[in-house]
Structure 1
Amino acid sequence: MRIGIIGATGKAGRDVYREAVRRGEDAVAIVRDAARADEVLGAGAAVVVKDAFELTAADLAGFDAVVDAVGFAPQEAERHLELSRRLVEAAPSSAADAPRLVFILGAGSLTNPATGALAIEDIRAIPGAEAWINIPAQQLRQLEYLRTVDTAEWVGISPQMTFAPGEATTPRLGTDELLTAADGQSHTSTGTMAVAVLDELQSPAHRNTRFTVSDA
């Protein structure tokens, strides 16, 4: 399977790339900076140098799947939605060679089972959150948009409240509610997310929907 990973040098993307390679898939890093890709992924990494917002249907046609693992800074977090729209337009399911799209989303759109409210309300209450709340807010808009899309094959995956670099555990999957790991906390490592992404690509179980993954 040929898998394009947008943002392959970032926090989530690098682990998705490495997990795909580990499983013997044909992983390709779609990046703007080839030197940075060599530094993060190794000189032998397969790389396509192109701005994600300039990707066309022809660019995507050679992939079986494309993973959007890009993370934007708070001041440009609206680009999460912008990029989703761009990829959906470039990968219509009516095209025989269009890839499946995988979007790594945020936790703010999950429901807190203890309160029944969206987790973004818990995030707003974190001291200092005003400096970066635009990221989960825009990722919520991103999911709301994707839920209207029936013209492309897509799946979204949300981590838990804490999403940080770390080794893989056995993924625990859910739908739209926050999950807790064995330690009682809500967290997902980038390694666990990468395993969940590759599991879904190799054995598809979700279509045009979002699911969530937690550490064990």
Structure 2
Amino acid sequence: MTKILIIGATGMTGKSLVAEALSNGFSVVANGRNKEKLNALKSEFSGIEVFNKDAFDLVKTDFEGIDVIIDAFATSPDQAYLQIDLAAHLIALLRNTTIRIGFILGAGSLYTDESKTQLTNDLIASDESTKPWRATPENQVYELEFLRHVKNVNWFGVSPGSNYIPGKKADNILVGNDVLLVNEQNVSVTTADTMAFKVIEEIKNNNHNQTRFTVANG
């Protein structure tokens, strides 16, 4: 049985990942800093193991028996740099190991169209109204840039559409690589359950190694 460690398991993405992993017969270890939220998660999903520890305090021995790690860590825009710091910490622990790790990335690192001349983050940065939260997509761009230089860890990344929201899995799911996906209504949106479905599917099928792909609701 595949054993998966979900970092940030009590968040929007984390909860969807827990549910999807269990429905696929995975053994789930839910990691988080908030003991109360973890206990509530265990009450909701009785089949999981909870691991109350700050992700930055994780050490190699914490990964014994783990097959796959998913970094679904989220933080406030004023601490968005922690996305990169945690990725670097986890990569350092996993150098030259067989454990696979997936990172939930933002849409900022996706190109706006097939011409691949402008990133979504460039549009965000040019809009003054985005100033309160633009550090998050900006740092997720840097996170992917860092990962693209990592050659001795089996990693993959997944980016949502420009609107990433709670919600059920879409009946039609769009999949791409580096260009922002939009549906027939020209809307770019990914629900958390859609994201979770494709992440777990990736763990099962192993189609993207040391690369990023993107998913959106069709």
TM-score when normalising by structure 2: 0.93
Q: Distance in 2 between matches of 1:181 and 1:61?
A: 41
Q: Distance in 1 between matches of 2:212 and 2:27?
A: 25
Q: Distance in 2 between matches of 1:211 and 1:110?
A: 9
Q: Distance in 1 between matches of 2:29 and 2:127?
A: 37
What corresponds to 1:209 in structure 2? 211
Closer, same or farther: CA 66–181 of 1 in aligned 2, 3 Å: same
Closer, same or farther: CA 129–40 of 1 in aligned 2, 3 Å: farther
Give 1:56 shift.
1.1
- From 78, 84, 94, the equivalent of 1:81 is 84
Give 1:182 shift.
3.3
Segments of 5+ residues of structure 1 without an aligned counterpart are none
Residue type matched to 1:72 in 2?
A: T
Whether the 8 Å CA contact 1:171–1:195 is kept in 2: the answer is no
Residue type matched to 1:131 in 2?
A: P
- From 59, 63, 74, the equivalent of 1:60 is 63
The RMSD of aligned alpha carbons is 1.5
SS in 1 for 2:186: coil
- From 170, 178, 181, the equivalent of 2:180 is 178
Higher mean displacement: 142-151 or 113-122: 113-122
Give 1:114 shift.
6.7
Q: Distance in 1 between matches of 2:77 and 2:36?
A: 25
Whether the 8 Å CA contact 2:42–2:50 is kept in 1: the answer is no
Aligned length: 213
SS in 1 for 2:183: coil
Structure 1 residue runs of 4 or more that deviate by more than 3 Å after TM superposition: none
Give 1:202 shift.
0.7
Whether the 8 Å CA contact 2:178–2:213 is kept in 1: the answer is yes
Q: Distance in 2 between matches of 1:143 and 1:107?
A: 11
What corresponds to 1:197 in structure 2? 199
SS in 1 for 2:12: coil
Any residues of structure 2 matched to 1:14-163 within 5 Å, and which? 14-42=15-43, 44=46, 45-92=48-95, 94-95=96-97, 98-113=98-113, 116-126=117-127, 128-163=129-164
Higher mean displacement: 141-150 or 34-43: 34-43
What corresponds to 1:8 in structure 2? 9
Q: Distance in 2 between matches of 1:207 and 1:24?
A: 23
Give 1:126 shift.
4.6
Residue type matched to 1:149 in 2?
A: V
Whether the 8 Å CA contact 2:107–2:161 is kept in 1: the answer is yes
Identity, % of aligned pairs? 33
TM-score when normalising by structure 1: 0.94
Whether the 8 Å CA contact 2:42–2:49 is kept in 1: the answer is no
Whether the 8 Å CA contact 2:161–2:181 is kept in 1: the answer is yes
Q: Distance in 2 between matches of 1:183 and 1:12?
A: 25
Higher mean displacement: 45-54 or 200-209: 45-54
- 1:172-207: CA deviations, max 9, x gaps? 110000111233201110010000100000111010
Give 1:91 shift.
1.0
